[in-house]
């Protein structure tokens, strides 16, 4: 699932590039939750509850990645496992997710 604090974007908006990027991500996610559509924004607990209900998942079964501490704190209070994605250290966040899931999500380019 992709969960975003989106804005309603009209023609010529400076946020159009973000909308275009979000639309490129659609094929990689089963669910796409946009705050502008559901009317709830992170860090409201309600948006996390909505997302969990949408996928039929318990909080302890979920992992949430974000770069904003208040969003992570709100998700964590519900029992969702959280990973902070620090700018420039995205690979570390993915490696932590791999450990949690016990699943390899990346490949080593040096071995190709």
Nearest-angstrom CA–CA distance, 67 and 38: 21
- Residue 33, strand partner residues: 3
59 is in which domain, residue-wise? 2-111
What count of Cα atoms within 13 Å lies in the side-chain half-sphere of residue 65?
16
CB atoms within 10 A of CB 66: 20
DSSP 109: G
How do residues 79-91 score in pLDDT, each as one tens digit? Answer: 999 999 999 999 9
Based on the structure, what is the number of domains in the chain?
Answer: 1
How do residues 2-40 score in pLDDT, each as one tens digit? Answer: 898 876 655 565 556 656 666 777 788 898 888 888 899
CA 110 to chain centre: 28
Residue 7 sits in a domain of what CATH number? 3.40.50.1000
């Amino acid at each position: 699932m992709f969960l975003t604090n989106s804005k309603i974007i009209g023609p010529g908006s400076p946020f159009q590039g973000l909308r275009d990027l979000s639309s490129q991500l659609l094929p990689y996610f089963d669910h796409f939750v946009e705050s502008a559509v559901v009317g709830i924004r992170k860090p409201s607990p309600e948006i996390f509850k909505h997302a969990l209900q949408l996928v039929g998942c318990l909080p302890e079964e979920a992992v949430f990645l974000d770069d904003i501490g208040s969003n992570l704190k709100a998700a964590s209070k519900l029992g969702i496992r959280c990973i902070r994605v620090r700018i420039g250290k995205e690979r570390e966040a993915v490696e932590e997710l791999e450990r949690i899931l016990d699943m390899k999500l990346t490949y080593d380019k040096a071995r190709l």
